[in-house]
Amino acid sequence: MLWETVRLAVQAIFRNALRSFLTVLGIVIGVGAVIAMVTVGQGSTEQVTADVEKLGTNMLMVMPGQDAMEGGPVGTAIQLFDIRMNDLLEEELSVIDVSAPLSMGRARAVFGNENRRTDVVGTDNRYFTAAQWEVERGRLFDVTELQSGKPVCVIGETVREDLFGTSDPVGEEIRIQNLSCEVIGLLKSKGASTFGSDQDDFVIMPIRTFQRRIAGNTDVSMFIVSVRDGVDTERAKTQVEAVMRDIRRIGRGEEDDFTVMDMKQLATMLSGITGILTGLLSAVAAVSLLVGGIGIMNIMLVSVTERTREIGIRLAIGAQAWQVLLQFLVEAIILSLFGGLIGIVIGLGMGLLGANMLSIPFRPDPQIVLLAFAFSAAVGVIFGFFPARRAARLNPIDALRRE
């Protein structure tokens, strides 16, 4: 009996194939959009987490001034750091592996006829340990170069590609503003981050060289702190804040004039943001399912009107009202499931395309796929019930009189 009902429903659907397809288009768009959004969202979250892990999940960033997002004052003067503060941090805290001072700016790097505006960073070898950088060619700074402020530098892959093409940059000299700087090393590429920044677009030189020859001051922009293995970063952050308050002579009850950012917290925050955005976009896309359900109900009501005489004949020769109701209900469910299947295929395809375009992992969620499919079936049941009930309640004599 059920198989016969399904067969009749399929025949009725394919009798008006174009109309049926247009009817389920809302379901197709809704299911496809939800799956695509969730897939891209999960891939983005995974990529953000991976990018932060590249920076080091055991890393803290100590910056002057308060983060306005954390409730800090806006528009107040910021007192920058100096190298002495960084050395004190490293000396006083056993939870710290290394702490590296960074001074940063933007300048144009020139080699021959090629030039590029890039980030120029002044630091020492502790930075390469804290940020987990590896040398591709050449070497890092030696003690003499760091102490004397010799004009040497280490460059990233993007700078090498733009200035030197395929040739080896080690041993060559580039010009940073008016400073001639010998390239002694090339770092391994880390590629672009999810935030849109190029992690290989920089020139790194000894911090004394940067301060004397580029910046013209002794200011330090931030400290990069690498926490020892096995030490909780939240505990290390608390200790760093306490020592920094002592160094900066901040009294009890006074606000910090610096910010300590935990990279794990940053990863959690960014993952939460992408999750919220994915949920909102998916909710908007899910509205298409409601629109698709209304479309199915509308076309089923039209179908009942068109097939009134057929319904009357079935009822007159002995068909029960529940059998007529089941036939139209099954027809609506098949329409919804058909739209759901097409939507799943399109959604996965759009998710794969989006992942490739954004260079993020393709991570379809089987639970979301099953949920979207089940929801499409539920739409068929809910919106198909009312037209089916109307068909089942037709009076056979009145239905037979209908032309």
Q: What is the pLDDT of residue 76?
A: 43
Say whether pLDDT at 305 is over 80: no
CB distance 103 to 220 below 8 Å: yes
Instruction: Give the span between the Cα atoms of 177 and 271, in whole angstroms.
Output: 39
Q: What is the pLDDT of residue 73?
A: 42
SS3 call for 253? coil
pTM for the whole structure: 0.62
Average pLDDT of 39-44? 82
Per the rule left: phi > 0, alpha: psi between -120 and 50, beta: everything else, 182 is: beta
Average pLDDT of 277-297? 73
Confidence band for 239, pLDDT divided at 50, 70 and 90:
very high
| Share above pLDDT 70 across residues of the chain, in percent, rounded to a whole number | 84
Say whether pLDDT at 286 is over 80: no
Alpha helices in 248-320 (DSSP H): 263-306, 308-316
Q: What is the pLDDT of residue 155?
A: 95
Beta strands in 36-129 (DSSP E): 59-64, 96-111, 114-123
Q: What is the mean pLDDT of the chain?
A: 81
Q: What is the pLDDT of residue 182?
A: 95
Average pLDDT of 31-60? 76
**At what angle are helices 25-55 and 321-358 packed, to 10 degrees?**
30
Q: What is the pLDDT of residue 120?
A: 95
* Tokens coding 233: 């970063």
Q: What is the pLDDT of residue 69?
A: 41
Highest-confidence segment of 57-66, 343-352, 371-380 = 343-352
Q: Of 87-91, 145-149, 235-239, 395-399, which range is least confident?
A: 395-399
Q: What is the pLDDT of residue 269?
A: 67
Q: What is the DSSP letter of 71?
A: T
Say whether pLDDT at 75 is over 60: no
Say whether pLDDT at 241 is over 80: yes
Say whether pLDDT at 72 is over 50: no
Q: What is the pLDDT of residue 77?
A: 47
How many Å separate Cα 184 from the centre of its chain?
36
| Share above pLDDT 90 across residues of the chain, in percent, rounded to a whole number | 27
Say whether pLDDT at 34 is over 60: yes
Confidence band for 71, pLDDT divided at 50, 70 and 90:
very low
pLDDT digits (tens, 9 = 90+) for 173-203: 999 988 999 999 999 988 766 555 788 999 9
Average pLDDT of 85-107? 90
> Domain coordinates of the chain in residue numbers?
2-51+268-401, 79-256
> Angle CA(182)–CA(186)–CA(190) in degrees, nearest 5?
145
Comparing 252 with 293, the larger pLDDT belongs to 252
Average pLDDT of 343-359? 88
Q: Of 82-86, 278-282, 396-400, which range is least confident?
A: 396-400
Say whether pLDDT at 102 is over 90: yes
Say whether pLDDT at 66 is over 80: no
Q: What is the pLDDT of residue 161?
A: 93
Say whether pLDDT at 285 is over 90: no
Say whether pLDDT at 311 is over 80: no
Comparing 379 with 108, the larger pLDDT belongs to 108
Comparing 195 with 19, the larger pLDDT belongs to 19
Instruction: Give the span between the Cα atoms of 43 and 350, in whole angstroms.
Output: 13
- Sign of the CA dihedral running 79, 82, 84, 85: positive
Comparing 163 with 73, the larger pLDDT belongs to 163
